[in-house]
Structure 1
């Protein structure tokens, strides 16, 4: 146990020092190995190993003269992903609140994160029954309307990654057959929205539509969800139309104004 704790402590210290390297470069712009070692109070060889580790992840890079290091493109990618997520949340908030008030149900905004759907924001409708707090929750991609939208517009390689494992069953309504799921996703791309009725939980129905960025790539989805008895099949077309209009408004605020077909791009 003692050796395990020591290993854990050393690992945490290494992470702390690696993050300190990034902070130093953010503050000073460019630094050499010896300068970083002096700032951290560690041996030059230790500083070099830390730099090599973060350089492998493209978080730092050497300058042209090969003498110093600066923050790398990996930092920009991380910052860009965070900025894009914040942009979606910011631009969808007021629109989502209006949609929630109009349909009387919960509105959610979700993105793909690793191999799951991550709910990044929620706007509650005026209904007295608000059983779910989705914000921050992760769910399977194939069992929700948001997930189906994101799957339908995922690049082919990404789709294969997301559906490589057997599709889990959450209720007797969950679509677990990949061929059937692909047919349903074809319909999602055709009609512009996805429905999941009693597929993640019995008694829960949701309708979702895609949100596109300035390049027309689907980066998020917006959904309306509520108890199935309040979202029966006959009401879904009307709700779907409102969700698509709201999602289009968010896409417009992100800079996407539609192609000649008015549809988001896939892949």
Structure 2
């Protein structure tokens, strides 16, 4: 037991020191390993191991002056992801609540996180009593409407990487053929929304549309989901129009302007 506590204590200390390295570089701009060791009060070899680990994750990088280190692009990616998530959640909340009330079902907002869709917010409609809380959950891109929207607008390399491995079947209706999935993603881009009926769970249907940022990049997706018996095929086009309108409102709040017939449209 004491050995386990010692190992835990050492791990926590390493994390604390690594974070201290990042704070030092944020304060000083760039430092050498010896300078970092002196600031932390540790041996140079310890500081070197900390820096190497952080460099492996691109959180620090060497400067042109070899032997000096500064904050790396990994920090920018983390900060950018956090900013996108906060902006999307803030700007989509009111619109999502109105959509949930109008459709009577659950509204979710998701972002692309590695090769999964990460649900960052949820608004429940009046019919969605005791709705499952999707916020914080990661789901497969190929088996969900949000995932298909995000994958359809992601760089092609992401699809190729995903398709290179077996696409897992969650139900008998999950699309697991890469060719069929590619065709469906083409349709998603063309018509502006994605659907998933009984593909992640039997009895669950969802419709999603993309959310764009000021640069016209898809940064998130918004979906309506509910029991399949309340979202039958004949109702999906109508719900899709409502979802696309709501996602468009959020996009405009993020600074996006739609392009139609060569003219920019302001919301």
Query: TM-score normalised to the size of structure 2?
Result: 0.87
C-alpha distance in 1, partners of 2:60/2:245?
42
C-alpha distance in 2, partners of 1:184/1:67?
50
CA drift of 1:209 comes to: 0.3
The answer to which of 46-55 and 86-95 deviates more is 46-55
Q: Which residue of 2 aligns with 1:26?
A: 26
For 1:16, what is the secondary structure of its paired residue? helix
Kindly tell me: are residues 201 and 63 of structure 1, through their superposed partners in 2, closer, same or farther at Cα, counting changes over 3 Å?
closer
Q: Which residue of 1 aligns with 2:76?
A: 76
Kindly tell me: are residues 261 and 205 of structure 1, through their superposed partners in 2, closer, same or farther at Cα, counting changes over 3 Å?
farther
- Residue correspondences, number: 262
Kindly tell me: are residues 155 and 42 of structure 1, through their superposed partners in 2, closer, same or farther at Cα, counting changes over 3 Å?
same
**Is residue 58–residue 72 contact of structure 1 (8 Å, CA) maintained in 2?**
yes
Q: Which residue of 2 aligns with 1:149?
A: 149
Deviations 1:205-263 (A, max 9, x none): 1000011111111121100001111111121111100100111111111121123469x
For 2:210, what is the secondary structure of its paired residue? strand
For 1:143, what is the secondary structure of its paired residue? coil
Deviations 1:42-99 (A, max 9, x none): 1123223322332344423456666754433331221112111111111111111111
The answer to which of 69-78 and 9-18 deviates more is 9-18
C-alpha distance in 2, partners of 1:92/1:138?
19
1:175-186 mapped onto 2 (5 Å cutoff)? 175-186=175-186
**Is residue 112–residue 220 contact of structure 2 (8 Å, CA) maintained in 1?**
yes
Question: Is 2:61 the counterpart of 1:97?
Answer: no
C-alpha distance in 1, partners of 2:233/2:6?
59
C-alpha distance in 2, partners of 1:174/1:83?
33
Q: Which residue of 1 aligns with 2:127?
A: 127
Q: Which residue of 2 aligns with 1:265?
A: none
Q: CA RMSD in A?
A: 2.5
For 2:142, what is the secondary structure of its paired residue? helix
C-alpha distance in 1, partners of 2:195/2:103?
16
For 2:164, what is the secondary structure of its paired residue? coil
**Is residue 145–residue 195 contact of structure 1 (8 Å, CA) maintained in 2?**
yes
CA drift of 1:181 comes to: 1.6
**Is residue 207–residue 224 contact of structure 1 (8 Å, CA) maintained in 2?**
yes
For 1:186, what is the secondary structure of its paired residue? helix
**Is residue 106–residue 130 contact of structure 1 (8 Å, CA) maintained in 2?**
no
Q: Which residue of 1 aligns with 2:107?
A: 107
Query: TM-score normalised to the size of structure 1?
Result: 0.87
Unaligned runs of 5+ in 2: 263-267
C-alpha distance in 2, partners of 1:195/1:233?
10
C-alpha distance in 1, partners of 2:238/2:214?
27
C-alpha distance in 2, partners of 1:18/1:174?
43
Kindly tell me: are residues 8 and 208 of structure 1, through their superposed partners in 2, closer, same or farther at Cα, counting changes over 3 Å?
same
The answer to which of 42-51 and 25-34 deviates more is 25-34
C-alpha distance in 1, partners of 2:261/2:197?
28
For 1:229, what is the secondary structure of its paired residue? coil
